[in-house]
Amino acid sequence: MEKQYVIDAITARDSWRLFHIMAEFVEGFDMLTDVGSAVTIFGSARAKEGDELYAKTYELATVLAKNKFNIITGGGPGVMEAANRGAYDVGVKSVGINIQLPLEQKPNPYINAQLSCKYFFVRKVMFIKYAIAYIVMQGGFGTLDEFFEAVTLIQTKKIKPFPVILVGSAFWHPVIRSLEKTMVATGMVTKEEMEIFKVMDDPQEIAEYIKKFVIV
């Protein structure tokens, strides 16, 4: 009897969890439906103001904003803050999709449209659904997770191809060489699939490349 009670309690919690998930999706869809031409920028939360990575991200975000692209980030510190700051300073939409963590990630102060998510998978849907391009700065496990999520969806044709750009050749080329020596060399990934993404450095070149994919 006690075991059945536990199972029933878990089932009830799962049912309510579904409503919470649905609510997060509805809130996100309502908020982002008119975001327009937006670029999602990922990267490490550990970058600090004054770092080269922070400065490069800010520069890139300002260039994109001046080219009429709104900016979406994970809403936290580091690269996310630098990207939101660039968008905020230029005056375009600066979207932060924050994630609730045990060690709370506080939203940065350069957001003019904010969404808070409990579930990572809801957050990922928002990043991809409302972006016309993905930009991946230097980062760690979370950044790689978001990069591979986008690449996998394009590879499996679950979404239409769109620009996925790794920014910072010095950082990313060793990662790519490692993939080539392992996954490509053993046939786990094809050479054509490695062309889903590009490595770029110059902010204006990145903006011009993304413009080619914008439907007027």
H or E element, residue 18? helix 2-32
CB atoms within 10 A of CB 38: 21
As a residue count, the chain comes to 216
**149 vs 67: CA distance, rounded Å:** 27
User: Can you list the positions of beta strands (E) in the chain?
Assistant: 38-42, 70-73, 94-99, 113-117, 133-136, 164-167, 198-200
Q: Which CATH class is domain 2-211?
A: alpha beta
Q: Is the pLDDT of residue 102 over 80?
A: no
**173 vs 167: CA distance, rounded Å:** 10
Place of tokens 């919690």: 13
- Of 25 and 92, the one with more pLDDT: 92
50: left (phi over 0), alpha (psi -120 to 50) or beta: left
pLDDT at 13: 73
**2 vs 179: CA distance, rounded Å:** 51
Q: Dump pLDDT digits (tens) for 145-192.
A: 999 999 999 999 999 999 999 999 999 999 999 999 999 999 999 999
The percent of residues above 70 in pLDDT, for the chain, comes to 92
Where in the chain are the domains?
Answer: 2-211
pLDDT at 5: 44
The confidence band for 123, taking pLDDT boundaries of 50, 70 and 90, is confident
